[in-house]
Structure 1
Amino acid sequence: MRKKHDSTFRNFFHKPSFNSSTKPRPFKAYSFVPFSPLAMLDPTILTIGGIVLGIAIIERILERWGVIDLVDQFAKVMRFILPVTFYSALIYFFATFIF
C-alpha cells in the first residue's frame, strides 16, 4: 500500500525548491550570424574584384576616346566573364569560409 502525503495549496507553492539531481551538460552555442563583413577582405576576392573593376574602367576610357569597335569587343567578352567571375568568386568564398 502506498503512503499518502497531504499538503495544502500554500505549502505546495511555498516549499523550498529541491536541488536538481542532474548535472548541467555543456553544450556548443552557435551564432545565428556566422558571417562577418570583414571576411570579404580576402586577398583573392579583392584581386578578382580589382581586375574586373580595372577592365570596366578601361572600357569607359576607350569609349571616351571613341574606339567603339574595341568597346563592343570588350562588352561581348565581359558579358560572359562577369557572371562567371562573380559566381566563381562566390563559390570560392563560401568554400574557404570557416563557419
Structure 2
Amino acid sequence: MRRTHYMTFRNFFNKPSFKPSTKPRPFKTYSFVPFSPLAMLDPTILTIGGIVLGTAIIERILERWGVIDLVDQFAKVMRFILPVTFYSALIYFFATFMF
C-alpha cells in the first residue's frame, strides 16, 4: 500500500517535490493498423479473383466475336454473381486474417 505524501499549498508552489508521485511503468504499444498488403496473396482470394477476371475476359472475347445473345446472358448472371463473390471474399478475408 502506498503512503500519501502531504504538502501544503505554499510548499507546493515554492519548493519542488523531491520525489515523483508515480513510478514510470513500462508499457507495450500495439499498432492499430495491422494490415499488410502481402496478406492479399492468400490463395483463395487469388483463385476467386482469377475466376472473376477470366469470366470478364471471356465476356469481352464473346462480345468481339459478335455473340451478343450469349454476352447478354453472361451480363445478367454476372450482375448477381460479382457482388456476391466480392462480399463473400471480403468476409472470408477478414474472418481468416489474423489481427
TM over 0.5, shorter chain: yes
Q: 1:28 to 1:21 in 2, by over 3 A?
A: closer
How far apart, CA to CA, are the structure 1 residues paired with 2:22 and 2:53?
Answer: 64
The one-letter code of the counterpart of 1:30 is Y
The size of the alignment, in residue pairs, is 91
Match of 1:35 in 2: 35
Query: Normalising by the residue count of structure 2, what TM-score does the alignment of the two structures yield?
Result: 0.78
Identity fraction in percent:
79
* Alpha-carbon separation, structure 2, partners of 1:58 and 1:48: 15
Structure 1, unpaired ranges of 5+: none
Hey, what does 1:94 align to over in structure 2?
94
TM-score by length of structure 1 reads 0.78
Q: Runs of 5+ in structure 2 lacking a partner? A: 1-6
Deviating above 4 A after TM superposition, structure 1's stretches of 4 or more consecutive aligned residues are 4-8, 19-23
Q: CA deviation at 1:23?
A: 7.0
The CA deviation string for residues 19-74 of structure 1, in whole angstroms up to 9 with x for no partner, is 667572x5442202111111111110010000000000000000000000000110
RMSD: 2.4
Matched, 1:63 2:63: yes
